[in-house]
Structure 1
């Protein structure tokens, strides 16, 4: 469930509870993950939940409407977790960066079926694609701000922060293409590996965390 801005600092963004989905959305999520958007029919979704097609249309306008409802759920979930993770990093860009990367990777692996919907965006109408792009841009801008702050504080050496932030975000989201819950890596394992890769991508300097903490302390003292 997505959280409001007033609660993000009070929750554990690493904790995942089972999704609270309607039967229609639960059945559709399984179908889209197994067969993709194009390979899933409204009849298939209705069959999975014991409804007639007209009954399903009573709840959702069409197949894209079901897909969009799931996409909204997924983007809302990752958005509040990323904001909470960044807030938990205090004024330290490197810790904020580590937290945000961890939050994205954990969401991608813990909410794998929702994350995999990102691979099917080409089937959305232009209007719905714009809505999704706006939410994704919020996350990208937050990550970019952290990278830029790290460069200013001398803890990162990225020469093109905009491209670097997009590269890190794309790298993390691509996990949905290969990750399997029954594989050898746990979500925490994947997060640790991708944090290391992401830190190399932004050019984190040795000892950068200590310098970032010192810089933050100096700012507060002014």
Structure 2
């Protein structure tokens, strides 16, 4: 049942939190339902069916005939980026557990670019036959969209948790910048494809993903504006400063290497200092930066 709910939800473009909101339950409860850790009463099954605009019978179907259900290589494949983070864990970025098809697609897009990659190469890297790959994804476009959705959901989950731990604009801003830097280093490959292949999305998907990216930018905008209003930040151009900070962090995916002289955590610490300098922070809630970069 949980697997069917997950596939239908993803097929309708809903996040775990979206569906949880429709049902009036927590994201943790919704995650438990989808992972088979939370039992379902007949009443809740009916509510889920109504929220997904399907019949109760549809929830009991296990076929992958619905085009929206082709998003996973196997029923047990993990959904990355929809986890509910425990307090204090927004700094944690464990290795991605992409399904085989998306692992092959990510590898191919990194080496050949979206337009240079083809379904045969992706299938080979995924350890699948070409017909087997088409069973789960109808096109390269579907795989690119899936990868970008995973990236944006993972980033938003971590960003919201980081912001939630801040007690004022300075602390929230510092946490968010640290989170952005950690994401673009620990998730460097995914972030690189997300940034470089936006142009390869079909227009409707490009518009949708661009809106998600703007929402992420707006999170930073709000904290810089709040800090400027309170006098904690002396910048007279908060809008431009916020965009400069985000651009600085997203550029990490272009050059950071884990085998370099500085760890992702050290780079993130330095970038918090750079960001506080950009907004002309008067009161710092983090230690000053030390050293000359990676």
Compute the TM-score of the two structures, normalised by the length of structure 1: 0.87
1:134-153 matches, within 5 Å, as 134-153=211-230
Separation in 1, partners of 2:285, 2:231:
10
Q: Hey, what does 1:213 align to over in structure 2?
A: none
Q: Hey, what does 1:219 align to over in structure 2?
A: none
Separation in 2, partners of 1:36, 1:193:
31
* Contact 2:177-2:271 at 8 Å conserved across structures: yes
Query: Whose RCO is larger (CA < 8 A, sep 6+)?
Result: 1
Q: Does 2:98 match 1:21? A: yes
Residues 55-108 of structure 1, C-alpha deviation per residue, up to 9 Å, x if partnerless? 212211211111110110011001111111011112x11111110000011011
Q: Hey, what does 2:67 align to over in structure 1?
A: none
Q: Does 2:238 match 1:161? A: yes
Q: Is there any run of 5+ residues in structure 2 with no aligned partner, and where?
A: 1-79, 287-294
Q: Does 2:224 match 1:178? A: no
1:194-209 matches, within 5 Å, as 194-205=271-282, 207=283, 209=285
Q: Is there any run of 5+ residues in structure 1 with no aligned partner, and where?
A: 211-222
Any idea what SS the aligned residue of 1:101 has?
Answer: helix
**Match of residue 2, structure 1, among 81, 89, 93:** 81
Q: In the TM superposition, what is the alpha-carbon distance from 1:8 to its structure 2 partner? A: 4.8
Q: In the TM superposition, what is the alpha-carbon distance from 1:172 to its structure 2 partner? A: 0.5
Q: Please identify the structure whose Cα radius of gyration is greater.
A: 2
Separation in 1, partners of 2:88, 2:285:
25
1:112-131 matches, within 5 Å, as 112-117=188-193, 118-131=195-208
* Contact 1:109-1:176 at 8 Å conserved across structures: yes
Moved over 3 A (4+): 7-11, 207-210
Q: In the TM superposition, what is the alpha-carbon distance from 1:11 to its structure 2 partner? A: 5.5
Provide the aligned length of Structure 1 versus Structure 2: 206
Compute the TM-score of the two structures, normalised by the length of structure 2: 0.66
Q: 1:208 to 1:188 in 2, by over 3 A?
A: closer
More helix by share: 1
Q: In the TM superposition, what is the alpha-carbon distance from 1:179 to its structure 2 partner? A: 1.0
* Contact 1:155-1:209 at 8 Å conserved across structures: no
Any idea what SS the aligned residue of 2:114 has?
Answer: helix
**Match of residue 175, structure 2, among 94, 99, 120:** 99
Larger deviation, residues 101-110 vs 154-163: 154-163
Q: 1:42 to 1:11 in 2, by over 3 A?
A: farther
**Match of residue 266, structure 2, among 189, 196, 200:** 189
Q: Hey, what does 2:27 align to over in structure 1?
A: none
